[in-house]
């Protein structure tokens, strides 16, 4: 009897899992599963303790779901990717594995690890990989010259054209296999810092994620284009955490969206959220086309010549939400408390760090990864490079968000700000974005910092720094 091994990574689900479905296709094969925690690698990549907890909780849920289907899940822990290759080899020998099934990861180190696994196994174990975390495989949506698009809009148009021609199919969860599993198989907890998850925001379990997707696609997605920019309104899906570790697949998201809103591909209701799914694809495709993005390098070479400031005091103030700019501080405190931040605010705080404080975008990118429950290299790097004007399809370097007017526009009455900055609860709506203007007129002192930077002066300095860097490339 053949033994098939499913190597789980960022795909912690039984529904629409291409590798799992393929491994279970032979009804006579014995199927086992493994998850290898690489703690040292996680630390190097700043994985947040809250995401580690989210992974652990969903591994327990996955363990139960697989066991119900007659599939045993094992957890092993090693330091890094080199050791994971050895671990996998040893496990396959012990379990007499004939075929290994896994879903591709597109980061550079992960791709090298998978190549090392295939080389190590040779012809002893058949390896089968699948493009599971994307709607369309990287390299399949290209220009007329067969090159990766460098601008999102034409990529999106070509992407939608492909979807109209043929939608990627979802696969069903595997059927129950006629196997009695030993009751002694308890999951081994991996040794990595973990932090509690707010289950009111992120319910645990694959079915809970599916329920949240269904609920969002019924009506909220139709209003997404109107509500998505206002952080005080519950107008976003909050599905990114599930997509990041693969509790949901992008195909499930697409099919559920089109079931509720069939005209989304034609620009109808739901099209704006579909566009967000395509941004996710864009950043993944870019990682494969331009591996330097995995090496902390900017897409636009001359931007690496920007003379970044190294101001630890201001960087810490930004991290802690103590900059004196209410919308920035409220957003950072939301991140630190929940592991999640509203998408509009991610752009605002990133712009503030880079364009107001002139601190290297990579510092912000790393800090976000250390806090985010939905940490994802492709999306996080893409977002930060967009905000810093260093990436493909980035905002022009002279486009600089004014944090005060951003707050006035998207949190006019300060509802979101007051939720996260209770020390400003007594400030009138008129002054909620400039509390010190009000406080200086009163016989009181706010328990809130004054702005750590003058935005107008910072904007001038930033434009000059970018201009110097740009001209240095011309010499």
Contacts of 474 (CB under 8 A, 6+ apart): none
Continuous segment of H or E residues that includes residue 442: none
Residue of 56, 361, 386, 420 with catalytic role = 361
Q: How many CB atoms lie within 10 A of CB 332?
A: 25
Residue of 276, 305, 408, 436 with catalytic role = 276
Question: What is the spatial distance between Cα 320 and Cα 337, in angstroms, rounded to a whole number?
Answer: 11
Question: What is the spatial distance between Cα 12 and Cα 58, in angstroms, rounded to a whole number?
Answer: 7
The reply to whether 318 sits in an annotated binding site is no
Q: What token pair was written down for 349?
A: 């705080």
SS3 72: strand
Q: Is 361 a catalytic residue?
A: yes
Question: What is the spatial distance between Cα 138 and Cα 294, in angstroms, rounded to a whole number?
Answer: 15
Q: Is 420 a catalytic residue?
A: no
Residue of 56, 279, 386, 420 with catalytic role = 279
The reply to whether 463 sits in an annotated binding site is no
Residue of 308, 408, 415, 436 with catalytic role = 308
The reply to whether 206 sits in an annotated binding site is no
Whole-angstrom distance between the N-terminal and C-terminal Cα of the chain?
Answer: 67
Phi/psi of residue 19, each to 5°?
-65, -45
Q: Is 7 a catalytic residue?
A: no
The reply to whether 351 sits in an annotated binding site is no
The reply to whether 276 sits in an annotated binding site is yes
Q: Is 308 a catalytic residue?
A: yes
DSSP letter (8 states) at residue 237 = -
The reply to whether 144 sits in an annotated binding site is no
The reply to whether 65 sits in an annotated binding site is no
The reply to whether 279 sits in an annotated binding site is yes
The reply to whether 405 sits in an annotated binding site is no
The reply to whether 374 sits in an annotated binding site is yes
The reply to whether 273 sits in an annotated binding site is yes
The reply to whether 277 sits in an annotated binding site is yes
DSSP letter (8 states) at residue 402 = -
Residue of 83, 343, 415, 438 with catalytic role = 343
Distance of CA 13 to the CA centre of its chain: 17
The reply to whether 237 sits in an annotated binding site is yes
DSSP letter (8 states) at residue 142 = B
Phi/psi of residue 36, each to 5°?
-110, 110
The reply to whether 431 sits in an annotated binding site is no
Q: What token pair was written down for 166?
A: 């043929």
Alpha-carbon distance values, 304 to 106, 291, 298, 391 (Å)? 24, 16, 7, 11
Size of the chain in residues: 475
Contacts of 205 (CB under 8 A, 6+ apart): 58, 61
Question: What is the spatial distance between Cα 238 and Cα 345, in angstroms, rounded to a whole number?
Answer: 14
Question: What is the spatial distance between Cα 330 and Cα 457, in angstroms, rounded to a whole number?
Answer: 23
Q: What token pair was written down for 288?
A: 């494969």
Residue of 7, 384, 386, 420 with catalytic role = 384
Q: Is 343 a catalytic residue?
A: yes
Distance of CA 57 to the CA centre of its chain: 18
Annotated binding-site residue numbers = 224, 236-240, 273, 276-283, 374-376
Annotated binding-site residue numbers for FAD = 224, 236-240, 273, 276-283, 374-376
User: Catalytic residue positions?
Assistant: 276, 279, 308, 343, 361, 384
């Amino acid at each position: 009897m053949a033994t098939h091994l499913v190597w789980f990574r960022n795909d912690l689900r039984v529904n629409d899992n291409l590798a799992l479905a393929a491994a279970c296709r032979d009804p006579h094969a014995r199927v086992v599963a493994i998850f290898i925690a690489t703690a040292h690698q996680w630390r190097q990549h700043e994985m947040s303790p809250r995401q580690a907890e989210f992974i652990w909780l969903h591994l327990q849920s996955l363990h139960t779901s697989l066991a119900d289907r007659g599939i045993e899940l094992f957890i092993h822990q090693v330091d890094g990717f080199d050791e994971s290759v050895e671990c996998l080899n040893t496990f396959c020998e012990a379990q007499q594995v004939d075929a290994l099934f896994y879903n591709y990861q597109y980061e550079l180190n992960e791709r090298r690890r998978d190549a090392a696994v295939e080389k190590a196994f040779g012809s002893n174990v058949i390896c089968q990989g699948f493009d599971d975390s994307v709607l369309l495989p990287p390299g399949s949506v290209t220009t007329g010259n067969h090159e990766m698009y460098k601008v999102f809009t034409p990529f999106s148009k070509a992407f939608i054209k492909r979807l109209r021609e043929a939608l990627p199919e979802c696969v069903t969860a595997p059927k129950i296999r006629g196997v009695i599993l030993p009751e002694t198989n308890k999951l081994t907890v991996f040794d990595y810092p973990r932090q509690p998850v707010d289950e009111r925001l992120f319910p645990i379990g694959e079915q809970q994620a599916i329920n949240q997707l269904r609920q969002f696609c019924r009506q909220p997605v139709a209003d997404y284009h109107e509500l998505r920019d206002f952080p005080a309104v519950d107008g976003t899906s909050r599905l990114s955490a599930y997509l990041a570790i693969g509790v949901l697949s992008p195909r499930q998201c697409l099919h559920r969206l089109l079931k509720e809103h069939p005209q989304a591909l034609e620009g109808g209701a739901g099209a704006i959220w579909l566009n967000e799914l395509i941004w996710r694809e864009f950043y993944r495709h870019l990682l494969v086309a331009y591996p330097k993005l995995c090496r902390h390098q900017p897409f636009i070479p001359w931007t690496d010549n920007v003379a970044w400031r190294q101001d630890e005091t201001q960087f810490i103030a930004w991290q802690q939400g103590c900059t004196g700019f209410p919308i920035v501080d409220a957003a950072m405190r939301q991140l630190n408390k929940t592991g999640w931040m509203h998408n509009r605010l991610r752009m605002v705080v990133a712009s503030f760090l880079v364009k107001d404080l002139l601190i290297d975008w990579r510092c912000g990118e790393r800090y976000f990864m250390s806090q985010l429950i939905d940490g994802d290299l492709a999306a996080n790097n893409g977002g930060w490079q967009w905000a810093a004007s260093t990436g493909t399809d980035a905002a022009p370097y002279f486009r600089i968000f004014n944090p005060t007017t951003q707050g006035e526009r998207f949190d006019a009455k300060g509802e979101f700000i007051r939720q996260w900055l209770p020390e400003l609860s007594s400030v009138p709506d008129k002054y909620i974005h400039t509390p010190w203007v009000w406080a200086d007129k009163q016989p009181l002192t706010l328990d809130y910092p004054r702005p750590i930077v003058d935005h107008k002066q910072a904007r001038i300095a930033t434009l000059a720094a970018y201009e110097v860097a740009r001209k240095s490339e011309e010499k």
